Amino acid sequence: DAGVIQSPRHEVTEMGQEVTLRCKPISGHNSLFWYRQTMMRGLELLIYFNNNVPIDDSGMPEDRFSAKMPNASFSTLKIQPSEPRDSAVYFCASSLGTGWFTEAFFGQGTRLTVV
């Protein structure tokens, strides 16, 4: 398996524009996570899906952020409108099952710059 695949790797956009980040989890994994990493706050969980259903979106910073998982092999994170403070690296991760042996695998991330 190619691992968790994210696109684009880099995104530069102007303030106010809509940004869509994409993620393909590892085939067969039933949990998907979106994280954001900044120097100031480290890695923060934004939203978590289990079997394509959003379970916890308490980390989504505000209504400008939305995430969908229309099927088991694809998820999007959308920011509309984008702001400079949204600049960060966004990671997608996936895992299988739940419990002691559950291991999370991360994509390479999307580096977002909002100017």
Partner 1 sequence: KQEVTQIPAALSVPEGENLVLNCSFTDSAIYNLQWFRQDPGKGLTSLLLIQSSQREQTSGRLNASLDKSSGRSTLYIAASQPGDSATYLCAVMEDNAGNMLTFGGGTRLMVKP
SS (H, E, C) 8-28: CCEEEECCCCCEEEEEECCCC
Q: Which is nearer to partner 1, 23 or 114 (CB)?
A: 23
69 closest CA partner among 25, 107, 102: 25
25 closest CA partner among 48, 41, 43, 42: 48
User: Shortest Cβ distance from residue 59 to partner 1 (Å)?
Assistant: 9
Q: Which is nearer to partner 1, 52 or 81 (CB)?
A: 52
User: Shortest Cβ distance from residue 64 to partner 1 (Å)?
Assistant: 22
User: Shortest Cβ distance from residue 75 to partner 1 (Å)?
Assistant: 15
Q: Which is nearer to partner 1, 48 or 65 (CB)?
A: 48
Q: Which is nearer to partner 1, 65 or 91 (CB)?
A: 91
Q: Which residues would be at the binding site for partner 1 (CB under 8 A)?
A: 31, 33, 42-43, 45, 48, 50, 55-56, 91, 93, 95, 98-109, 111
User: Shortest Cβ distance from residue 65 to partner 1 (Å)?
Assistant: 17
Q: Contact at 8 Å (CB) between 81 and 64?
A: yes
